[in-house]
Structure 1
């Protein structure tokens, strides 16, 4: 009898929660569902640990750790470009030849173009190419952009 009463309370609670969710705006509904999902996953994990049934879950996490390490390494290779993309968010990409400012931004060089030296350009190019070369997991487009920026700046420096 007590189980039936608990089941009835749970069903009524879920019905009320669904009615509340339907009235929320979509953005708030999404945020609330994420929050409830994380709390539910945490509670489920706690129950699994308390009952001694979480061993398979930790085995899966342990097996995925080397994969996560590799994925993190690959993700960090593209960090300079991600940072550049965040800085130039909202700007239209240029069509046509690259400007000196774009070349400096591509290589991650700061400051005035008159104070720029050949060694700084070569050093910045070398650092980026070590991360973005196609033989090291980069792609041809990014490597070409970095090479184009180096050539433009070296030609500009004379």
Structure 2
């Protein structure tokens, strides 16, 4: 008799559930099905505990499923906020010139660069001595102004009391008109699907952190501005 009652209740419940499902809008249907599955699991778990089929610990673990869903939903919604405050991993910013490819990771304050030409080709800046860096400074000062300024920024941020001074690029202002969208994304540390709001935030963050007074340069600031302009068509 009890079995017949349970079967009848189950059939009635499924019938009523289908009616509600058809009345639910398409936008809310997925959430309704998810919630229904959770409640069904809880009811079945409680029934099995009462019948002595499973231990109460198993039912308790099943009861944690709604909490897990809440954690996932909250984490997804809070992700933009976590990124804003720097709790999410950031994509490093990358600057490339004829002779140098520099990567700046603001999440751990690490900066390094690969040398692309000359006797030190393939080496990282961090592998060179201060004397070797001075040789590059002297060479690039005349032959590669962009690499020279980028190298100075690296030295000022990583090598204390090196005797180097910042430099303005105003006398030989570089032309960024051929900057590609991919390069602009690399400079700002963004993914291809970045929104205009993310571009603006990344630009503001980089300008603040690469100010000439903080080891940056006018050149870097100009390149960051060019990257923002490339990704935000007027």
Structure number with higher strand proportion: 2
Q: TM-score with structure 1 length normalisation?
A: 0.38
Structure number with higher helix proportion: 1
**Structure index of larger Rg:** 2
